[in-house]
């Protein structure tokens, strides 16, 4: 009987330790908005958990954010999945950094304003890393 109690105790202790480690490392799962068009950052990069954001915002269509245009017309059933925003929203010589910044802000902040949900102030998205 004594050995059985020890094994049960060790099993429970192991599960508690495993849960603690997984919870502690969940902060490491935060992804950031990344685009090669930003070689230097003016502000801290924006943490963005894509799937969690879309689930919470009830976004089910990719082309709402990952839009494509042809001859100035939005293609309703196509999406730019896998493309960086800088591929369309920055000049061929990477000379229009502000156009790229504006595109991100219009897309993200514009949606937050329209939906009356989500952060809209600079520091709400561009957060300094906490130690």
Based on the fold, state whether residues 90 and 115 are members of the same structural domain: yes
Cβ neighbours of 20 (radius 10 Å): 10
Where residue 24 falls among pLDDT bands split at 50, 70, 90? very low
Position 28 pLDDT exceeds 60:
no
Taking only the tens place, the pLDDT of each residue in 40-83 is: 888 999 999 999 999 999 999 999 999 999 998 999 999 999 99
**Alpha-carbon distance 6 to 3, whole Å?**
5
- Residue pair 89/100 in contact (Cβ under 8 Å)? The answer is yes
Q: How confident is the model at residue 90 (pLDDT cuts 50, 70, 90)?
A: confident
**Does 114 share its domain with 72?**
yes
Q: Report the domain count for the chain.
A: 2
75 and 96 in a single domain? The answer is yes
- Asked if the structure places residue 39 within a domain, the reply is yes
Evaluate whether residue 131 is within a structural domain: no
Give the residue numbers spanning the domain of 52: 31-125
- Are 2 and 54 part of one and the same domain? no
């Amino acid at each position: 009987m004594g050995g059985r109690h020890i094994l049960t105790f060790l099993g429970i202790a192991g599960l508690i330790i495993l849960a603690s480690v997984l919870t502690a490392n969940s902060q490491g799962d935060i992804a950031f908005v990344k685009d090669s068009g930003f070689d230097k950052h003016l502000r801290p990069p924006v943490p963005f958990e894509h799937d969690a954001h879309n689930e919470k915002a009830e976004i089910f269509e990719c082309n709402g954010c990952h839009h494509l245009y042809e001859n100035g017309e939005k293609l309703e059933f196509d999406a730019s999945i896998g493309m960086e925003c800088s591929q369309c929203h920055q000049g061929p010589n990477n000379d229009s950094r502000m156009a790229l910044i504006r595109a991100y802000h219009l897309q993200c902040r514009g949606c937050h304003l329209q939906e009356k949900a989500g952060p809209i102030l600079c520091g709400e998205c561009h957060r300094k890393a906490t130690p």
